[in-house]
Structure 1
Amino acid sequence: MARIAAPWVALLLVLVSLLASAAATSSGEPHCCVDHHVWGNALENKGCKREEKDDECDAWCQSACRGGECKRRDRLHYCHCYC
């Protein structure tokens, strides 16, 4: 009986770890060397076009990424986190 249950337990552990990993990466938490298209305190800004958001984007990048800067691509702001 234990020989039959062991592979199922191992499979269950792998599935649980995959789900936990997916939940961690989709939490909106910034990761290094990545452009974040949604940024801000409540992640309310999505590639904002307004120029007055430059300082706000930079401030969020520096605090949320522990370093980073707001870059403009296609006239939109993206928070790029440094590694």
Structure 2
Amino acid sequence: MNHRFLISKPQFFSTPLPGVLTTPVTPTQKGRIQFQGSFYPAQLFESSISHDLEPGTDVKVVGRIGIILLITR
């Protein structure tokens, strides 16, 4: 088993990077994002965002947990 992506602790990037949502993301539901030419699962990092984010929304990728990207507006 490859344990490389089984990380449960967030790893943060030194600078936020741009991405675009391809499926909706809600405060309680993960979605998908296009990031650096590929597609990844994503979830909201900030709990202060209380509304759904729709496909096509520009977001900032601030880090990751395994292959799940942590995003914010």
TM-score by shorter chain over 0.5: no
**Structure whose residues are more often helix by fraction:** 1
Q: Which has the higher contact order (CA 8 A, sep 6+)?
A: 2
Greater Rg over alpha carbons, structure: 1
Q: Could you tell me the TM-score, scaled by structure 2's length?
A: 0.24
Q: Could you tell me the TM-score, scaled by structure 1's length?
A: 0.23
